[in-house]
Amino acid sequence: MQQRMVTKGLSRAGSAPHNRCFRSARPAIKPCVRVCASATNGNGKSHASHPSAAETARTIVDIVSEGTLSTLNADGFPVGSPVSYTIDKSGQALVTLNKDTLEMQNLASNSRCSLTVQPTSFPARAVASVTLMGKIDVADKAESQFQFEVEKALYYGGLDQSAKVQELGAADFWAAEPDVLRKFAPELVKSWNEDRAEDIYRIVSHHLQVPLTEMTYAELLWVDRLGMYVRSEVTGREPEVVRVPFYRAVLDERDVRSVITMASQIAWEAERPYNPPLPSIFTDSAAAAAANN
């Protein structure tokens, strides 16, 4: 188990209380997700606390480039084959298939198929997995890439625990946009856990309304434009995965770093109620008034 004494974190906030150790590595636990229904931005308007199933499905398909293509053979049995694919400018999946392979033979007889996609490594692997269902037309065998015509998609929730399986129509799937942080999230998770673990502890402590001294563990698992998932342990409670919404949707990598830093600063200030000293003009006037009396 890795342990790290955070010294970078919040230079503005000073060192951790009692020189405590903030850990950022932990064996897996069974998720028990606590998710807020909504969050508010600076104008008081509400937005969703996490991306929709369709948005997350699009994100997964976009950040992964390999999957299992299932086709039907002559006996009617499904056959799974590892394939690679790319996403074109319009967002369509183009599956790479070699000539004279079993999957090509099967698709020539029956174009119906499915493509199951799941990230191969963490942290993205924990987010979700997706199965696209539809057709691949291989009539033009001179091509090496073939468009997957999506008719529907099956979304298997991971961190959001929204449902075991959720069916998405093709229109909903294609209308959704991949998350703006999808390319940066793994590095953001890594850097915050390794270099700024104290920030995550403080944010979750503030979000759960528990003293920082009762937070025994916190680890950032994933971040998207609307918030972040954090694995947390609090004294006297069962371990859980907490969804912490941002006060507004972020725009890019730089913006999310700013929003998380702000959330940590707010949490730090909440720990230490600060009453700024009065300007000397007021203190001098008060002293003069007291002397005259």
Give me the pLDDT at residue 282, please. 57
143 confidence band (pLDDT: 50, 70, 90): confident
Q: What is the pLDDT of residues 29-49, one digit of tens each?
A: 444 445 443 343 332 333 478
Region 61-74: what's the mean pLDDT?
95
Residue 92 in contact with residue 147, Cβ under 8 Å? yes
Whether omega for the bond prior to residue 123 falls within 30 degrees of 0, making it cis, is yes
Highest averaged pLDDT of the listed ranges 20-29, 32-41, 185-194, 272-281: 185-194
Q: What is the pTM of this model?
A: 0.76
Region 193-217: what's the mean pLDDT?
94
Highest averaged pLDDT of the listed ranges 132-146, 159-173, 190-204: 190-204
How far is 69 from 81, CA to CA, in rounded Å?
5
Region 133-154: what's the mean pLDDT?
90
Residue 96 in contact with residue 83, Cβ under 8 Å? yes
Give me the pLDDT at residue 6, please. 36
Closest CA to 153 of 145, 163, 165: 165
Please, what is the average pLDDT of the chain? 82
244 confidence band (pLDDT: 50, 70, 90): very high
Closest CA to 266 of 201, 215, 203: 203
